[in-house]
Structures are given as structure tokens and as C-alpha cells.
Amino acid sequence: MNLFSSLGVRLAAVVSALLFGMLLLMTLNIERRLTVTLEEEAKQLAQGQAGVLVAGLQTIMLNGQGMLAREWIERVHDEQDIVNLEIFRRNGKEAFVDMETVNAVNNHLQEQRFQRVAVPPMGNGSHPITDSFDTARGGNVAFEFGKDHQKMTVFYPIRAKQECLTCHGYESSPLRGILKLTVSTSLAQKRIKDMRLALWGTSAAVVIVLGLTLWLFLRRDIVLPIIELRNALREFPEQQSGALAVTKRRDELGEVQTAFNNMQEALHSEEIRSRIIMDKMDVALVIFDQNAVIESFNRAAEIMFGYPSAQVCGKHVNMLLCEPDHIESGDLLTEVAQTDTVNILKSGGELSVKNYSGELFFVELAVSELPLKSGSKYIGVMRDITQRKQAENRLAHLAHHDPLTGLPNRILLEDRLKHALAIAKRNCQQLQVMYIDLDRFKIVNDEMGHASGDQLLIQVAGRLNSCVRENDTIARVGGDEFVVIVTDAHQDSDVALVARKIIDSLNAPYTIGEHEFRVSASIGISRYPIDGEEMAVLIKNADKAMYSAKSQRNSYRFYTSSM
């Protein structure tokens, strides 16, 4: 796990960063102040040193020892921490190297009191009039630092004393010259560096100690209680009873833990009540999410489908549906918006499902949406309607079929004949209608009873089915009357062969119980479009042809206009 995924580590890091930032600002401020102080101290020392040198120089000069002053300046170069020492006149020329001042003084005194030997300059012989030099000419001490702050130069003004004016009365300027003293500041820089290292080391140690202390405090008083709450929340869906062991705390986290325990107990009790209610319901409840993944399965659903709840939870709802009714995974809200109905799986509220054994059955379905912040849930309520569907199918069959023979009745016959006529008209095909009536059936029905007559009709229906093709229709329209719709017969001879086949099949002996019977059939045939283009006309004309065939029995006749 990533170290910074821990709340305690992040809090300690943030607070430590804030402390470090504050200490950084404080340290920078202290460092700046100490640096300024040390630099000011170095300036004061250098200024004091320059003042002492000027005082010594003036003492030597008052005794008229110009040569000695030059030698003294050269010896000062060898002093510790002194990098350079030069004396300049106000005009920037180096002093004590020529006879200019000596001659001027002697001329003023009108006697040769002072003597000096010209010597080479110690530097360039003159100094440029810089800002610092000009400041010193104005009577103020000026300072310059080297680029690396390892050297500092003091420009110290040499003021004229009253004793000096005794000899130098040829000029009344209060400033005699400029002392340029360059000293090493390496010691001060070392002190600044040591101070900086000590200061930053102390700051780092303070930050580390405070960070660790803060981390230990946060871990004990905040992070560990939050971890307990987190673990309890993770385990909450699987917990069957009990609550989080509360640490004995009196702060806000203790109140949060107590509130969580109360919430957990309330939710657990509510879950038990909800589960009991769901399991007591006699309808199947299936709860699934937007991706059609099952989340809950009540006891009635387990009984209906034969699956235990643990085996279906987490699976796609398609495992319960038949292939044509499968739904795609995805946002079911889109399907709700498209269908605009409470049933989002199949229109009409009914669909076919399969149980654990793979057997198909029908359910009535209603789906309602439960909007939640985390995403909508869907509650599917299913009721097994297999028996009702079977009853509806039986009623529908009875409404369109003869209850005795199972053949289509007159209603279904008219529907199929209407459909066949539409196809024949569209494709310019022929169509034939056969009207069949059994000969001598009334004698069998009267002498042997209606039960035997019914058995005879059932056998007749079976023989008729064996004489025609699957796309032809046989219907029972009366007691012993049947109608056959023959499609795709191109010539009358083709229909005649079918009629002869029916007559021969029905003329064979029938065995009912211990008795044997023999009946024959009379068949009338009408043709589309020769004998009519309407359904009622074709049936009527076939009926007329059948009565014509009755005169001979066991025969068939085509309809003619003379009938």
C-alpha cells in the first residue's frame, strides 16, 4: 500500500510541512538579521581598526617623521587580517611616494624643515573617484565588500588636527586625505556559515521531532479509531450480529463510534425485518443494479427458480431468462426512458424464464426503480402464471378448434381461408375448397349411440389428416361435415386425385369396440377464382356440389353453374 494513502501520514506530512514553512521563514529572518549584525560588527571592527591606524599615522606625522610613516605603512601590510593599506590625498593620488607635499610645506614655512626620498607607489599610484571614495572625501566612512564577501574595504577620512595646520597652513581644508584599509572577512564569513548550519540543523531537528510526535499522536487518537470504523464499515454487509467494540473515549471520535454502533444495530434490525418480510411474500422478488447484476433473491424466488440465493447473487439476470428475452448489460435507465413502461425487460409484463433444471415457464413481471445516490436499483416482482397461461392456451384452442376431433372449427376455418385467398390473389394462384359429408353416419349414430358416433368422427378426422398436406387445412363445420382448403393445386386433376384419395381412405372399414362399420363420403369442390372470389361464395358453391355428389354417394363433384 502506498505510504501516503494513510490519513495519518498525510496529516503529519501536511502539518510538518506547515511547521517547516513557518520555521523556514523564521530561520531565514533570523539568518538575515544575524548576517546583518555580524556584517555591522565587522564594519565597526574595521572602522575602529582604521581609526587606530589613522591616529598612529597622525602621531608619526606630527613628529615630522614622513619616512617613518612610509615604513610603518609597509609594515602594517604584514599584520594579520590586513590585506592592503594605502593613503591617498584628496585628489586620489597616493601619499608618501613623492615630494609634492613636502615641497608645499617647506615653501609655506619658507625653510627646508622636512626632507623625504621619493619611493615607488604601493599600488597604482592613484585611486579612481568612486562613490565610496567620494563619500570619504565628504568626511564619512564608506565600506565596500568583495564579490564573494571575503574582503571588506574601509575608506576612512583623515581629518586635519590643529597641530597639522601649524605646518600645513598653506591649505585650510579640514580633510587631509583618505585611508583605504582592506581587511579579510573570512572569520566573519566562517561565523556566519557556522551559525547558518547550526540554525538549519536545529530547525530540521525541531521539524522531525514535531512531525514524529504529531504522527504518534494522530495515529493513537485519530488514525487507529478511524481504521476501526473503516474496517467495521467494510465488514458491515457480512456481519450477522454484534457491533464495533467502542474504545472508551469521550471525544468526538468516541461519539462517532457510538453513533455508528447505534446505526449498525438499527440497520441490522431493519435488515432482519426486511428479509423476513421479503421471505414471507408469496411472490418472487429479484433486486438488481443498473448493469442487471442480481443483488437480492428472496425465498419465493428460490422456490420458483430452484436456485439458492447465494448461487444467483452477483450473476447477470440473463441466467434466469430465456434466450429471446435476454437483456444487454448497461444503464437500464435508458431502457426505461425508451420503453416508457414499468416493465423494462419485455413489453406486456409477461416473459418466459427457466428454472435450475432448464425447464421453461411463464411469469408476470413488474419492475420498479429505486433511485439512490450511488445509482438506481431495480426491484423485479414476478408471479408464476404458467397455469394461467396454459388455461388461456386451452381456452384459445377451444375457441378455434373442434373439442371432439381437435380440428379447426368454423371460426378458424374462415380465418385461414381468408388468409389463403389473400395469398392466392397476390400470387395469381388457384385455390380449392372441398366440402365433405359422411354417408350413412346418421344410421350409425342412431343405432350404436352417440359415443360410437363420436369415436367414428375421431377416426375420420385422423384419416383426413393423412390424406392432405401440412399446408392444407381440414375443419369440422358440422356434425359429420368437414371442409378442406387445398392450396397450390394447379389443375382440377390434382384436386380430383386428392378427393379420390379421401374417398378411398374414408371408405375403409372402421372398428369401434367389437363392431365394424363402413361409411362413405360425398365431396363437393369449388375453385378460386373460377367458382367465386369471396370466401362465403366458395363455401356455398362447394356445399352445392357436395349435395350433387350425394345423389351417387361415395363420389365427388366439381361445382358448375347449373347447380
Q: Which amino acids are annotated catalytic?
A: 480
The angle at the Cα of 282, spanning 280 to 285, to the nearest 5 degrees, equals 85
Residue with grid cell 561565523, as numbered in its chain: 191
User: What's the CA gap between 473 and 491, in Å, rounded?
Assistant: 19
User: What's the CA gap between 221 and 42, in Å, rounded?
Assistant: 52
DSSP letter string over 507-537? HS-EEETTEEE--EEEEEEEEETTS-SSHHH
Residue with grid cell 399446408, as numbered in its chain: 471
- Write the Ramachandran bin of 81: left for phi over 0, alpha for psi from -120 to 50, otherwise beta: left
Report cis status (omega within 30 of 0) of the bond before 529: yes
Indicate if the alpha-carbon torsion angle 218, 221, 224, 227 is positive or negative: negative
- What stretches of 131-223 show up as alpha helix (H) in DSSP? 131-137, 162-167, 186-218
AA letter at 302: E
Residue with grid cell 448493469, as numbered in its chain: 291
Q: Which three cell numbers stand for residue 240?
A: 450477522
Residue-level length of the chain: 563
3-state SS, one letter per residue, for 438-462 = EECHHHHHHHHCHHHHHHHHHHHHH
User: What's the CA gap between 433 and 482, in Å, rounded?
Assistant: 11
- What stretches of 366-409 show up as alpha helix (H) in DSSP? 386-400
DSSP 222: I
> Are the CB atoms for 506 and 519 separated by under 8 Å?
yes
Indicate if the alpha-carbon torsion angle 287, 293, 296, 298 is positive or negative: positive
User: What's the CA gap between 20 and 26, in Å, rounded?
Assistant: 10
User: What's the CA gap between 261 and 255, in Å, rounded?
Assistant: 10
3-state SS, one letter per residue, for 242-268 = CCCCCCCCCCHHHHHHHHHHHHHHHHH
> Are the CB atoms for 281 and 298 separated by under 8 Å?
yes
Contacts of 167 (CB under 8 A, 6+ apart): 64, 105, 108, 109, 113, 114
